[in-house]
């Protein structure tokens, strides 16, 4: 019965996608190029963008101009992105319009390889794509972004990896309600986050328990046999240059290197992260944390900052020290560092759900999902888009599970 239902769903999705393609052709538009009429992201004024990010209703370190423009310039499969940009007249006469909303976007064809008439939030090399909306006009900004998507020929806007209960999503929900519409959640999950307003020692004790903490202290003591254990935080340009090299070396020394996914293994990715980290650190929105045993770096991570939040981007460890849990030891130090910073209220792990390292330590949970924003009432394209995405998931998920199983089996054998 399940197979019959799946086959029926797949057939319906194929018919819907075909219908969408035919209708788009009749309108003289290419659904694969729905973003063609939009400005390119790198034409947006970085200064106006920074003013918006400073007054955003919800933080997103991955959509700051220093980060996203670097991604857009060279990161693998993430370049040449378009933008939805909402503006209002400046308060000062003859001044440039004030940017109140920004969302980097790509076509559904580029995002999913599906010919659907939708725009999709661009991947900023981090699993968070919250649009930047001005806190003094968030609803207006959300409505304007949706209107621009309509003007570009899109019938839906798909917000990937957005906090479902966040302030930005609430602004879109209110803007939709004024038109008699509502958002549709395509998928959602919960991922680890840190409540940085708590005392770190209390938080770690509640999360890990006395027995686990005792074991981690024992591992740290054994790590100290190789030299004094030191936790450093790089923010100055000279420190960033030194520690970014350490991070890239560590990240490319372990399982990521074996899979070919380390940043240093791709010229475009390496160029992106060097530019992004230097530019972001210069504006106080990025730091590199590193754990040393004597002169030897054993773990390093890049952390982004925006408003009252921080974002745990990537971690690299020296697997020669694996029995001392260097990644966990670094995360414990990062927890203490963030909880001691009064400017940070929450740290988003930006990790996959159920992450075996971070989930047991950071017990907060952030609801993240992909949300479909319909742009017109009673639009026949919206069911086509939903069914097309459902068919894609139906086909891809079993294959992805098989790949993960084979990869884990091979790594276990090796």
User: What is the pLDDT at residue 93?
Assistant: 67
The number of distinct structural domains making up the chain is: 2
Do 104 and 143 reside in the same domain of the chain? yes
Do 182 and 214 reside in the same domain of the chain? no
Query: Which stretches of 283-380 are DSSP H helices?
Result: 326-339
Do 181 and 62 reside in the same domain of the chain? yes
Q: What CATH number has the domain bearing residue 160?
A: 3.40.630
CB 61 within 8 Å of CB 67: yes
Q: Which two tokens stand for residue 347?
A: 């740290």
User: What is the pLDDT at residue 165?
Assistant: 97
Do 325 and 380 reside in the same domain of the chain? no
Do 186 and 46 reside in the same domain of the chain? yes
In a domain, 33, yes or no: no
Do 57 and 166 reside in the same domain of the chain? yes
Show which of 310, 344, 378 is a domain's final residue.
Answer: 344
In a domain, 35, yes or no: no
**Residue-range definition of the domain harbouring residue 229:** 197-344
In a domain, 340, yes or no: yes
In a domain, 21, yes or no: no
In a domain, 4, yes or no: no
Q: Compute the distance between CA of residue 302 and CA of residue 279 in angstroms, rounded to an integer.
A: 13
Question: What is the C-alpha radius of gyration for the chain, rounded to an integer number of angstroms?
Answer: 23
Q: What CATH number has the domain bearing residue 252?
A: 3.40.630.30
pLDDT tens for 332-376 read 999 999 999 999 999 999 999 999 999 999 999 999 999 999 999
171 Cβ contact list (under 8 Å, min separation 6): 57, 133, 138, 139, 141, 142
CA pseudo-torsion sign 74, 77, 78, 79 = positive
Residue 77 has what DSSP assignment? T
pLDDT tens for 272-324 read 999 999 999 999 999 999 999 999 999 999 999 999 999 999 999 999 999 99
Greatest Cα pair distance in the chain: 72
Do 116 and 222 reside in the same domain of the chain? no
Q: Which two tokens stand for residue 12?
A: 């319906």
User: What is the pLDDT at residue 18?
Assistant: 47
Show which of 344, 359, 381 is a domain's final residue.
Answer: 344
In a domain, 94, yes or no: yes
Q: Compute the distance between CA of residue 306 and CA of residue 53 in angstroms, rounded to an integer.
A: 8
In a domain, 63, yes or no: yes
Q: Hey, what's the torsion of the CAs at 1, 390, 29, 100, to 10 degrees?
A: 160
User: What is the pLDDT at residue 382?
Assistant: 97
Do 338 and 376 reside in the same domain of the chain? no
Do 262 and 166 reside in the same domain of the chain? no
CA pseudo-torsion sign 57, 63, 67, 69 = negative
**Plot region of 84 (φ>0 → left; ψ -120 to 50 → alpha; else → beta):** beta
Task: Extract the residue ranges of the chain whose pLDDT is less than 70.
Answer: 1-36, 91-94, 399-401, 403-414
Do 185 and 208 reside in the same domain of the chain? no
Do 159 and 203 reside in the same domain of the chain? no
| 249 CB burial (10 A radius; 0-12, 13-18, 19+) | middle
In a domain, 317, yes or no: yes
Do 186 and 288 reside in the same domain of the chain? no
Helix (H), strand (E) at residue 211: helix 200-223
């Amino acid at each position: 019965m399940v197979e019959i239902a799946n086959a029926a769903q797949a057939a319906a999705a194929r018919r819907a996608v075909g219908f969408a393609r035919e209708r788009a052709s009749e309108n003289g538009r290419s659904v694969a190029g729905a973003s063609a009429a939009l400005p390119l992201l790198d034409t947006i004024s970085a200064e106006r963008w920074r003013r918006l990010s400073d007054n955003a209703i919800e933080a997103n370190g991955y959509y700051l101009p220093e980060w996203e423009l670097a991604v857009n310039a060279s990161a693998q499969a993430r370049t040449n992105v378009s933008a939805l940009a909402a503006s209002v007249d400046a308060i000062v006469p003859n001044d440039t319009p004030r940017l109140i909303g920004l969302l980097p976007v790509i076509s559904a064809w580029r995002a999913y390889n599906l010919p659907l008439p939708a725009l999709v939030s661009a991947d900023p090399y981090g699993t968070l794509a919250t649009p930047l909306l001005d806190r003094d006009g968030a609803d207006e900004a959300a409505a304007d972004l949706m209107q621009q998507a309509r003007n570009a020929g899109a019938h839906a806007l798909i917000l990937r990896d957005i906090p479902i209960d966040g302030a930005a999503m609430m602004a879109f929900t209110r803007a939709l309600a004024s038109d008699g519409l509502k958002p549709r959640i395509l998928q959602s999950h919960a991922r680890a986050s840190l409540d940085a307003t708590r005392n770190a020692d209390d938080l770690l004790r509640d999360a890990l328990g006395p027995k686990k903490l005792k074991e981690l202290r024992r591992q740290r003591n054994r790590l100290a046999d190789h030299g004094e254990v030191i936790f450093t935080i790089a923010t100055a340009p000279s420190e960033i240059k030194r520690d970014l090299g350490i991070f890239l070396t560590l990240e490319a020394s372990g399982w990521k290197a074996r899979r070919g996914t380390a940043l240093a293994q791709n010229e475009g990715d390496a160029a992106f992260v060097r530019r992004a980290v230097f530019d972001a650190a210069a504006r106080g929105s990025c730091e590199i944390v590193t754990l040393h045993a004597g002169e030897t770096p054993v773990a390093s991570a890049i952390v982004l900052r925006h408003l009252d939040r921080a974002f745990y981007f990537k971690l690299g460890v020296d697997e020669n020290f694996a029995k001392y849990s260097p990644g966990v030891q670094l995360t414990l130090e990062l927890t203490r560092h963030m909880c001691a910073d009064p400017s940070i209220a929450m740290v988003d792990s930006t990790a996959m759900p159920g992450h075996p390292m971070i989930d047991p330590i950071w017990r907060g949970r952030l609801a993240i999902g992909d949300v479909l924003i319909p742009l017109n009432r009673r639009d026949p394209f919206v069911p086509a888009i939903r069914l097309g995405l459902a068919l894609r998931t139906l086909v891809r998920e079993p294959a992805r599970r098989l790949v993960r199983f084979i990869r884990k089996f091979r790594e276990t054998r090796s």
